[in-house]
Structure 1
Amino acid sequence: MNHDHHHHHDHGHQHDSKHKPARTDHGHDHGGHGHQHSVDPGNMGRAFVIAIVLNTIFVAVEFGYGFVANSTALMADAGHNLSDVLGLALAWGAALLARRAPNQHFTYGLRSSSILAALANALLLMVACGAIAWEAVQRFHEPAPVAGWTVSIVALIGVAINGISAWLFMSGSKDDINVRAAYQHMAADAAISLGVVVAGLVIMGTGWAWVDPAVSLAIVALIVVSTWSVLRESLRMVLAAVPASIDPHKVDAYLSTLPGVSEIHDLHIWSMSTTETALTAHLVMPAGYPGDAEIDAITTRLKNDFGIHHCTLQIEQGTTDHACCLLVAPPLDLHAGHAH
């Protein structure tokens, strides 16, 4: 058997010095190399701490006043903000874990902890929504007087705190999907708190107690809609599905048209974390290994055009059958005429 196995990981872990120029050409760094795939300890780390402290204090105040004012809308918003605090803590903890260097037991490091954090956060929000909705429905049957002025004042404080929290994450939201999610979540919370303010004012003006549980259910609906996509995508990541942002057919077509490639198989694309994607593929090249420069060019193209950060390419000459041993059922072809 005469074939070369070339494993090309463009992420700078345990590489010798001869690969440094390739990483420079690819312009992609991880961890401490400058690409913001994890929380910056100086700026984003501080933003997480401030946002967590502010929201924790506000949750205690909001729930307490909601209980005193007999407002399910206020307590619903407090429950939502509590889940936000836990979600921020999960996201920050996962981002810190993702910075840990690989070792012999975790050869990719702990990058995938960010996926688990996203899934846990989404599930937590869904459970909170169920509890809030149940309480609101009970209030429709047994309406109770609500202190509208207290509701409006406390919720207005929530608008300010969530607005400040969103502003803290704004600068890092362009480069890190975790930070972007935190930014969007805080901005949405500011809008939801504004809705509670309006509910309090309506109750003061009309005396309609049913407005409070109605706003609670509206908040629940907004949370479910905004959380559903996170839950679905995090589940896909846990199951090692191809990321929604990547078209596997286009990747397959690109690799198939490379000079010297007669066939490709064992093409796998999956999420290593919420910010990084990996690919493995077998390229059948009858003429043999094309050289490091050509492989570097392929991985650079995969990163720039498809957002795939970690590539492992195995070069074969087609002299033996390299069927995918992982499959027990007929594979779904990504490209006509190719095996898996």
Structure 2
Amino acid sequence: MCIRTIKLYSHLTTMTTTCAIILNYFGSEKTERCLRSLVPQAVDTIYLVDNSVSHSEINKLSGMIEELSINDNLQTLHLLVNEDNLGFGKAINKTLKFDLDSSGGHDFYLVLNNDAETTPGMVEGLVRAIRQEPDISLVSPRIVKANDDTCFIWYHKLFGHLYWERKPFCFPYLSGCCLLFKRSLAEEGPLFDEDFFMYGEDVHLGWRLQQQGEKMICREDIEVIHEGTGSSRHGDLFYEYHVAHGHILLAMKTANNRFQLALFLLGRFFYLFTRSIIRALRYRKLSPILAFFLCWFPLKIRLGRVSE
């Protein structure tokens, strides 16, 4: 991991230490908008983590952060460059461990998608919410998109379908778009299950915390703006495979016994097959159908390449 440290300036005037992590994958323009919205927040350390494995992308990020010019108290921005595309969960876990080992850690951590933008006072509001209730481990703002907004999402155990309100046979989770959590959660071990490359790790985190009796909340009065397209394009094999494979992993990891596992996998078969047909017709591509047949196997799919 290559590390570059840059000093910025922000309006930070709090005794509570908060560290933010932004993951970039060929999205420097979105990352810049995200970073500019985050710098004025109550955050004293920012890790900008690049998974692109591209010199041109690193140069864009370096030039972008050099241009940032903010006034007031000291804030530190670390640019961390991974030598391989580690995926979402593994890159976040590695950064958390690096911060705990190198700096002694922070009181709170914020994971923020690079296609999201904070609203004024967002971080301070989330920190206040989690400090007011000591039994809360994880908090999210309301996620505002172009056509809707989201707090809790409900994941159907049998089929893997997502609902935006409580439904039978579902468990709740908070979107990994924007999560704030206590240091203790980072110290317990890897935050995300690294078997998930992209998509599904936040669902599994919600399930795991629920199994452990941990409390999660969504503050509907605090907002984050989420563009929602991220680093992937709908209909591409990369996106379709990792979403579908995430559903298979969730079936395997949330089943309590062999009977449940068989039932969950059967439900996924019918659901994912139907989903692949619908998406193939919608995007006029065969990649969703190909992804359905591939998703049952742990493959390494990067930028159109497939390997075991």
TM-score (ref. length: structure 2): 0.26
TM-score (ref. length: structure 1): 0.24
**Of Structure 1 and Structure 2, which has the larger fraction of its residues in strand?**
2
Work out which of the two has the higher radius of gyration on C-alpha atoms and give 1 or 2. Answer: 1
